[in-house]
Amino acid sequence: MRILGGFSWVSALTLSVCLIGNGVVQAQNGSPSQWPLHDNGLNDVVQWDHYSFKVNGQRLFVFSGELHYWRIPVPEVWEDLLEKIKAAGFTAFAFYGNWAWHSANNHTLDFETGAHNFERLLETAKRVGLYVIVRPGPYVNAEANAGGFPLWLTTVHTITSKHLVTKGGTAFVYQIENEYGEQWVGDASKKVPNESAARYMALLEASARDNGIDVPLIHNNPNMNSKSWSQDFAPNATGNVDVSGVDSYPSCWSCNLDECTGTNGEYVAYQVVNYYDYFKNTTPTEPSFFPEFQGGSYNPWGGPEGGCPGDIGADFANLFYRNLISQRVTAISLYMMYGGTNWGAFAAPVVATSYDYSSPISENRKIDSKYYETKNLAMFTRVAKDLTITNRVENSTSYSTNSAIATSELRNPDTNAAFYVTIHSYSPSSTKESFQLRVSTSVGNLTIPQRGGSIFLNGHQSKIVVTDFAMGKQILTYSTAEVLTYALIDGHPVLVLWTGAGESTEFHLKGATKGAVRSQSVGATNATFHADEHGILTSIPAVNGMAIFEFDNNVKVIVADKPTAYLIWAPNLSNDPFGPVDKSVIVVGPYLVRSASPDGHSLSLKGDILANNTIIEVFASKEVRAVSWNGKGLRTQRTPYGSLKAGVASSTPKITLPSLDSWKVHDSLPERLPTYKDDGPAWIEANHSTTPNPTKPDTLPVLYVDDYGFHNSFHLFRGYFERPATAVNLAVQGGMAFGWSAWLNGDFLGSYLGNSSVGTANMTLSFENATVHSNRSNILLVAQDNTGHDLRAAAVQPRGILRASLEGGASFTKWKIAGEVNGERQQLDPVRGPLSEGGLTAERLGWHLPGFDDSAWNSSSPSTGFSGAGISFYRTTFAMNIPTGVDASFAFVLNAPASRKVRVQLFVNGYQYARFNPWVGNEVRFPVPPGVLNYAGDNTVGLSVWAQSEEGAKVDVRLEQEYAVESSWSSRFESEYLRPRWTAERLQYV
C-alpha cells in the first residue's frame, strides 16, 4: 500500500500537476506536501517520500557504512567498530550476511557459536545508537567465496525480526538479494519482464514478510541501467521492493586501475557522475538512495601492496560524498566503512587476504584522515535537518565569480534554508580556486564574502555553503566556512565552523547585535564585527587553530581550521540514532571520542588518546562541573566563555614484542611418498563418472573436489597407474592466483606458479627425471591451492582437475582426493567455522591449533628454510601481555628473501590470517585482530611453507605493532571461547 500523504487533488490541480511517464504524480513546484508519503502497508514506523526516509515521524539523513561481521570473527571487536562509526556522526551502518559462514552443510545452520551469533551486532547497534541496514543476501557478492552462496534466508529473517525498529530495535530497512538487477529482459526501458527473476524476488520478499520483517524492503541496482524493482518505474510489478536504490563506484571498485573498465567507461580520477536524472526518472517518489557508494576499493591479487589509499583517500571522501548531496541524495551507505580480512577461505579468487578496502576504518582498525574527512561531513548531515527536504533549484557556474567553480543550489521549500554545494566545474581538476558566491538569503541576495576575502577550493575539494541554517531558534544567515556541527547547550547553540588553515572566513548571524572574540587564536584577534539591521557579520582574515566567538543572542561559534576540526566530536547523551542536538556535547582534542554520559555533575567521556599530552576542551551544560576521561577525573578549568578544559596525560605503555625465533618444523606433504597410506577417513575415492556441474571434465573419473564434498583452500589428488608412462597432461582449475605442484613416486615433477588473472592451467609434465615403476603401482600426487569460488554465475565453476591423461600408453586406475577434514560432512571446529581450513596434512591433523604437542618435532626456523620442492609446517608459541585500557593492534609481516616461488599460509591460534603468495601478489603485511591473538597469554603461530620449485623456501616472519592508544575500548578481553584447542580426534585424519 502506498499512501498519498497530505495529497489533495484540489490543491494538485491548482499547482499545475504534471503526470510524468511512469504515472507518478508530481507537483512542479516541488512542495513537500505534494509528494506522496509512502509506507509498506504494515505500519508507519518507517516512511519515505521523494525527499528522505522518516523513522518514527522524523526525517532521517541516512549516513551509513558497511562492515561484514564474518570478516572480523571477534564479537568484542564489533563494539570498537560500531563505536567508531557512531563517533563519526553516522546515523546507521549496513552489513551483509554470508550463508557459507553459517552453514557447513545442508543440515547445519549455526547462528550461535562465537561470531556466528550476529545478534550481538544488532544489540551493540542499539546500545551505541545506530540504525541498521540489514542485507542478508542470499547472494551477497562482496568478493566473498562464491559470493556467499547459497541460501540461509529463512532462519536469518526470524533472528533479525526482533531487532527491527518496529519492535524496539534499530534495523530500519531490509535488503532483498544483492545487485539483482534482473527485472527486465534486455533494455530496461522496454520493460519486458523477466518472469522467473520476478518470481524469485517475490518469493524472497514473501519469506521475509512471513518471518516478521515488517520494515521497508529495499534493493540496490548494480548500476543505472538495470532499473529493477522500483515501484515508480513499474508500478505494481511482481518482485518490486519498497525502496529501490542504486550502487556506484565512480573511482573504480579495484585498486588495480587496469580493471577499471565497464559501466563507468574510461577511468578518469576524480570524475564525478550524474545520478540526478536517474533518480528523477526511476524513483521520483522515493529518497535518492545509495545502498552502496564507494567507501574505497578492494585490492586484487595483482594490486599494489597496502591497497590504494592514495586514489580514494580523504580528498575522494570530501569531493564525492558532497557530490551526492549536491544531487539531493539523502541516504548513503559506504561500501566498505570497515573492510576487514579475508581470513580462512572467505575470499573469492579476485581478492587477496586483505579486504582493507582502503576504507575510512582500516583493516587494523586505525582511523586517519579519510575517517576524519568522512566524519566531518556525516556530523554535518546529522544536524542539518533542512537537508532532508530539498529541491535542486539549479546547477551551474553562474553562482560563482569564478567560472572554474560550479554550484548546485538545494533549497528547502518549507524553511527556505539553502545549501550551495560548490565543486570544480571540471571535477578532476585539482587547482586552488578562490571565488565569491551569489546566494539568496532571508536578508536578501548577497555576494559572499561581502567584506573582503574569498571562498577557496583547494585541490580535490568541494564545500557546502549554507544559508539560513537553523540552530534551534537561531539562524546562521550564511557562512563561507562549512558547518561541522552544532549543539544546543542549555538551550543555546554552540556552532562549529571549519575551513582550510589560513583561509579567510565570513559568517552572518541573525538577531545578534554584538560579538566578541573569546580566544587568542592568531586569526581571531584580527576578526571584525559589522552589525546591520538583521544581525552581525563576522569577518576573519585567516583561520588558524581554533577561535571562539560569543554573541549577545547567546550563540557561541567555534571556528576551526581543518587539522583542529578533524579532532572535534559531538558525542550524544542519548543513544537515539538521530543524535538529538539538545543532548549533544562538543569535545575538542582527542584522537577519538566514543561516548559521553552524565555522571552527576560530572561528564564521563570515553575515547582514545594518541598524543602524549592532549588538551581536551568540552562544551557542555553549565551544570557540568567536572569531566572524567575513561573513568579518571580530570583537573578541569572553566574558560571565560564557559567551556571546560583539561590536560590528559596518556600512559600508553611501550609494548615489547617477541622476536619469533624459536620454531619447530615437520614435513607436511607425506602424501607424495609411495609409502604413504591413503586408506584413512581423510581420503575419498574419486569414482564419479558423471557430474551435475555444467562444466564437464575432459577425462574421467570426475576430479572436481566439490563433487566429493571438499570446497576450501588446499586439496590433494593421488592418481594410481600400474604401467610405465612418460608424462602426464593435467588441466587444473583453482581460481585466479591459484597454483599447483605434482610429484611422481615422491619425485618432484613441476609446478604451476600462478598468475593474478588466470584461474586454470594446463601443463604436460615429463617423467624423465622421476622413477617410474613397471612392476608396481605408480603414484602421482597433485597438490592444489584453491583461491575460492568465483562470483555470480561463475560460482559453480569447478575446482580441481579438468583433465588428467598419461602419455606413453598407461592410464590411471584409481584416484583419491583429500581436502578439509570431513569435507562438508561434519564440522570439527564450529567456532572457526566451515571456511576456516583446507586439506593440508597440517590442517587435517590440527597442527595449526593451540594445544597440539610438537615436542617430538625438530627445531628449525622458517627463515632457515629448506631446499627442494615440498611443504613444511612450522610452529612457534609466544606469550602476550597487553595491558587493559589500551587498544593495541598488531600485524605479521612476511618476507621471502630467497625464492619467490613459494605459497605460504599463516595460522594464528588456528585462524588462517595470511595467504602470502609473493609470486602472484604483493601483500606482505597481515593485521590480526585481538581475540584471534590472545593478548593475555599464549599464542600459537603456524606457518605452512610450500616451495613450488627445487629452489626451496625461506620465509621471515615478524610481529609488528600497528598502533597502541590509550582507550576506553580495551583490546584485552576474555576471548578464550574463540580459540578452541586441539583434540585427539584429529589424529585419524593422517
Question: Mind telling me the catalytic residues?
Answer: 179, 292
The DSSP 8-state label assigned to residue 361 in this structure reads B
> Toward ligand GAL, which CB reaches closer, 221 or 909?
221
Task: Reply yes or no: is the peptide bond before residue 701 cis, omega within 30 of 0.
Answer: yes
Cell representation of residue 487: 549543539
In the bound complex, what is the minimum distance in angstroms from residue 981's beta carbon to ligand GAL? Answer: 35
Task: State which residue, 292 or 356, has the beta carbon closest to ligand GAL.
Answer: 292
Select 253 or 743, whichever has its Cβ closest to ligand GAL. Answer: 253
What is the spatial distance between Cα 326 and Cα 313, in angstroms, rounded to a whole number? 20
Give percent helix, percent strand, percent coil of the chain, each to the nearest 5. 15, 35, 50
Contacts of 299 (CB under 8 A, 6+ apart): 254, 255, 256, 307, 308, 351, 352, 354, 356, 357, 358, 923
Output the residue with the shortest Cβ distance to ligand GAL.
Answer: 141
CB of 339 to ligand GAL, least distance (A): 9
From candidates 70, 172, 253, 721, binder to ligand GAL by CB under 6 A? 253
Please report whether residue 95 would count as binding ligand GAL according to CB under 6 A.
Answer: no
Nearer to ligand GAL, 140 or 810 (CB): 140
- Between 142 and 334, whose beta carbon lies closer to ligand GAL? 142
Q: How far apart are CB 271 and ligand GAL at their closest, in Å?
A: 18
SS3 72: coil
Nearer to ligand GAL, 105 or 264 (CB): 264
Near ligand GAL in 329-348, by CB under 6 A: 335
- CA pair distance 19, 990, nearest whole angstrom: 72
Region 158-197 residues binding ligand GAL, contact defined as CB under 6 A:
178-179
Whole-angstrom distance, CA of residue 182 vs CA of residue 243:
16
Q: How far is the CB of 527 from ligand GAL (least distance, A)?
A: 47
Site string for ligand GAL, 131-150 (x = CB under 6 A): ---------xxxx-------
Q: Which of 247, 259, 373, 468 binds ligand GAL (CB under 6 A)?
A: 247
- The CA distance from 434 to 630, in Å, is 43
Where b means 16+ CB within 10 Å and e means fewer, 133-153 reads bbbbbbbbbbbbbbbbbeebb
- Between helices 153-161 and 195-210, what is the axis angle to 10°? 40
Cell numbers representing residue 41 in the block: 502497508
DSSP 758: B
* β partners of residue 248: 293
503 is an interface residue for ligand GAL by CB under 6 A: no
Closer by beta carbon to ligand GAL, 180 or else 916: 180
Supply the minimum distance, in Å, between the C-beta of residue 838 and ligand GAL: 24
Sequence letter at residue 178: N
**Nearer Cβ to ligand GAL (247/315):** 247
Identify which of residues 179 and 707 has a Cβ nearer to ligand GAL in the complex. 179
Q: Output the nine-digit C-alpha cell for 220.
A: 540496490
**Residue (232 or 292) nearer to ligand GAL, CB:** 292
Instruction: Write down the least CB distance from residue 78 to ligand GAL, Å.
Output: 20
Q: Identify which of residues 357 and 566 has a Cβ nearer to ligand GAL in the complex.
A: 357
Residues 553-582 that bind ligand GAL (CB under 6 A): none
Backbone phi, psi, residue 924, to 5°: -125, -15
Q: How far is the CB of 336 from ligand GAL (least distance, A)?
A: 8
- Identify whether 918 is preceded by a cis peptide bond (ω within 30 of 0): no
Q: How far is CA 146 from CA 21, 790, 804, 837, in A?
A: 39, 5, 25, 16
Please give the grid coordinates belonging to residue 804: 588428467
The three-state secondary structure class of 954 is: coil
Report in angstroms how near the CB of residue 70 gets to ligand GAL at its nearest: 13
One-character DSSP codes across 786-824 = -----SGGGGG---EEEEEEEESS--EEEEEEE-STTTT
Q: Is the distance from CB of 404 to CB of 433 less than 8 angstroms?
A: yes
Q: How far is the CB of 324 from ligand GAL (least distance, A)?
A: 17
Q: Which residues contact 800 (CB under 8 A, 6 or more apart)?
A: 703, 704, 705, 706, 707, 715, 717, 732, 733, 784, 817
Q: Tell me, what DSSP letter sits at residue 33?
A: G
Residue 298 interacts with ligand GAL (CB under 6 A): yes or no: yes
Sheet holding 664-667, edge to edge: 858-859, 664-667, 870-881, 936-947, 902-908, 911-916
Chain-centroid distance of CA 501 in Å reads 31
# chain residues binding ligand GAL, by CB under 6 A: 12
Q: Which is nearer to ligand GAL, 152 or 335 (CB)?
A: 335
Write 55-61 long-range contacts (CB < 8 A, 24+). 55/131, 55/165, 55/172, 55/577, 55/578, 56/165, 58/578, 59/385, 59/388, 59/389, 60/91, 60/131, 60/388, 60/577, 60/578, 61/91, 61/330, 61/331, 61/381, 61/382, 61/384, 61/387, 61/388
Do 840 and 668 contact (CB within 8 A), yes or no?
yes
Grouping H, G, I as helix, E, B as strand and the rest as coil, residue 58 is strand
Q: Where are the beta strands (DSSP E) in 541-601?
A: 546-551, 556-561, 568-569, 586-588, 592-599
H-helix or E-strand containing 64?
A: strand 62-67
Which residues within the stretch 787-846 sit at the binding site for ligand GAL (CB under 6 A)? none
Q: CA 797, CA 799: separation in Å to the nearest integer? A: 7
- The least CB distance from residue 253 to ligand GAL, in Å, is 4
Distance CA 68, CA 793 (A): 22
Q: At its nearest, how many Å lie between ligand GAL and the CB of residue 503?
A: 36
Per rule CB under 6 A, is residue 292 in the interface with ligand GAL? yes
* 222 part of the interface to ligand GAL, by CB under 6 A: yes
363 or 482: whose CB is closer to ligand GAL? 363
Q: Should residue 300 be labelled a site residue for ligand GAL when binding is judged by CB under 6 A? A: no
Phi, psi at 159, each rounded to 5°: -65, -45
Interface with ligand GAL, residue 293, by CB under 6 A: no
Nearest distance in Å: CB 616, ligand GAL: 38
> What are the residues binding ligand GAL (CB under 6 A)?
140-143, 178-179, 222, 247, 253, 292, 298, 335
